[in-house]
A and B are shown apart, each in its own frame.
Chain A
Amino acid sequence: MNYVIIGNSVAAVGAIRGIRRVDEKGNITVISRERHIAYGRPLISYLLGGLITEKRMAYLPEDFYEKNRVNLLLDAEVVGVDSARKQVKLAAGDSIGFDKLLVATGGDPFVPPIEGLAGKERIFTFTTWDDAEKLKAIAADVERVVVIGGGLIGLKAAEGLHLLDKKITIVELADRILSAAFDRPAGRVVAKKMKANGIDVITEDTVVRIEGDGARISGVTLKSGDYIPCDTVVVAIGVRPAAGFLKGSKVDVNRGIVVNDSMETSVKGIYAAGDVTEASDFFSGQKNPMPIWPDAYIQGDVAGTAMAGGEKAYVGGLAMNSIELFKVSTISMGITNPVEPKEYEIVTYQDLENYQYRKIVLQDSRLVGAVLVGQVDRAGIFSGLIREKVDVTPFKEHLLAPDFGFIHLTKEIRNTLFAPYGKVA
């Protein structure tokens, strides 16, 4: 059996382990357009900010590829997939045959056609190790940066640059930063902390023109008419599935590669996992892109297992983020900001002075979402309650308590989780 995996980040790693659990013998080839072995992609802001060295970027134990007998092709770009002949075509011209193929290429940063952007030198995106390196290389010469987009990528880039003492302005179209993961109060807590650290956060506005002569940037003009001087721009508006090379392959691509609950695409034998996919959502079952690190691992594992002939079903993507910004810890999961609040029961606790905020979202006596700011210890208990769809009626009043724990749950649940005679034994 010949397994080919395109992409070499967390979904690929989950898949390699998934395949090897079932099939110790088959050949695994991993093709990556990057020149690095698997690295902790979210760590690029730590690398930029000088918090970690390059050595610590390595995501895997040194012997991982060897131990799992993986044939690794780095710095190699796939330009096409021939589904009928079961071959992938590389940019260098050669083709590689496969029996089972996994597409785990992640996302490509989206750079919209902003006026004045073309030809400017210091326009950056921030999703790869090389992006961080490029920014770092010119950092000494950077004074003021405008970050377009106040999502996770934008904030992380801002944090890394802040550690290098750069003056930063974040411009976000929505009414708050991190609008995908946070509700208003949580967004405000973090925005307050950022402002206290000297970072300007401008919301409900966007960059309409990049100003400057030739390749040099002198500032940006916003939709509101405001002008912000800067010498560097980071575009962090979002990512799009890196699936362009599938054109003509008959693999269905919507807002991501559409997959079933075994992570198989519309073409038999071709699978997809991670940020490049559109898989079912944990709550609605509808297909949704879910660009979340742990979810990419799980999708990779499901795909790898299925490719090797094993059985494992994807239970649906559950959004989850642990983000620490300027020493404020935040963890959010599930439905944090329901579109139809009437259908949910929402309980909150806030002490914004001390950067503390807790919010619980319930639906039909089940926990479906949580936001924790400040005190985030044991947040995983909530993720367990969400995944297991536990009826929280008996202990509902304890959910927001800072010392909430298993003691507040039923004895039956405790025994199931920890006793030698529960399901674990």
Chain B
Amino acid sequence: MKRIYTIEDACIGCHLCEVGCITEHSQSKDPVRAFLHEQVRPLSRCTVEEGDGGVISLSTTCRHCDEPDCLRACISGAIQKNDAGVVRIDTEQCVGCWSCVMACPYGAVQRNLAKKKANKCDLCPDRKSPACVDACPNRALVYKEGSQK
């Protein structure tokens, strides 16, 4: 299956992947509305990390593992892997126990504390390629076939 990969040397730490992710998962799917006018702003499912005063940066996100540690740790069954291989959280079913946060070695599950629900990349089911990848001006994020344990 296709996954999102990061080319660290190409990342300039602009956080546009996070903007793209938040916009895509907002109600309006419009960046200005999502950031200024919508009452609840979604959490970004990708995380840009910066170090050495911005010299190093990279965007990290869910690997959609073949054997997901988050799924194995999930006590409610909210995390399932669909036939296409996408690991998704059913937010209705999630009880916010953070077992997935504990288990994911990629640090790719966020805690939505306001909603008490886990939050993670869904590979943008409504798009051809994920919003973070499309938003990256430096092509530091690539969406391509690859395997993952």
Q: A residues touching B (Cβ–Cβ < 8 Å)?
A: 14, 38, 40-43, 46, 51-52, 56, 58-61, 293-294, 297-298, 301, 320-322, 324, 329, 331, 333, 376-381, 383-385, 387-388, 405-408, 411, 414-415, 417-420, 424-425
Contacts and interface: CB of A to CB of B under 8 A. Distances in A.
A46 B78 CA distance: 15
Contact of B111 (A51, A61, A377, A415): A377
A407 B149 CA distance: 22
Contacts of B60: 405-406, 417-418
Query: Contact residue range for chain B?
Result: 35 or more
Contacts, number: 146
A40 B75 contact: yes
B98 A425 contact: no
B101 A322 contact: yes
B56 A407 contact: yes
B105 to A, nearest CB: 3
Given A294-B72, A419-B6, A376 B99 contact: no
Interface in B65-109: 67, 69-70, 72-73, 75-77, 80, 92-93, 95-109
A62 to B, nearest CB: 11
A42 B95 CA distance: 11
A61 B146 contact: no
Contacts of B105: 380-381, 383-385, 387-388, 417
B21 to A, nearest CB: 16
A376 B8 contact: no
A52 B50 CA distance: 39
Contacts of A377: 101, 107, 110-111
B16 interface: no
B66 to A, nearest CB: 10
B104 A52 contact: no
B98 to A, nearest CB: 5
A42 B75 contact: yes
A414 B8 contact: yes
Given A43-B76, A293-B73, A405-B47, 16 more contacts: A14-B72, A294-B103, A321-B102, A376-B101, A379-B102, A380-B101, A380-B103, A384-B106, A405-B107, A407-B56, A408-B51, A417-B63, A418-B106, A424-B3, A424-B147, A424-B149
Interface of B: 3, 5-8, 47, 49-51, 56-58, 60, 63, 67, 69-70, 72-73, 75-77, 80, 92-93, 95-111, 142, 144, 146-149
Contacts of A405: 47, 49, 60, 107
A377 B112 CA distance: 10
Contacts of A420: 5-7, 142, 144, 146
A301 B149 CA distance: 14
26 contacts: A38-B77, A41-B75, A42-B97, A52-B95, A56-B92, A59-B77, A61-B77, A293-B99, A294-B72, A322-B73, A322-B98, A324-B96, A324-B98, A377-B110, A378-B101, A379-B101, A380-B107, A385-B105, A388-B105, A405-B60, A405-B107, A411-B8, A414-B58, A420-B7, A424-B5, A424-B147
Nearest to B63: A424
Contacts of A329: 98, 111
A40 B144 CA distance: 35
B40 to A, nearest CB: 19
A61 B80 contact: yes
A63 to B, nearest CB: 11
Nearest to A404: B107
Contact of B98 (A43, A293, A376, A385): A376
A357 B106 CA distance: 22
A278 B65 CA distance: 28
A387 B51 CA distance: 25
Given A43-B76, A52-B95, A322 B102 contact: yes
Contact of B49 (A297, A321, A407): A407
A419 B4 CA distance: 9
A122 B125 CA distance: 51
Contacts of B107: 377-378, 380-381, 405-406
A43 B108 CA distance: 24
Contacts of B73: 293-294, 297, 320, 322
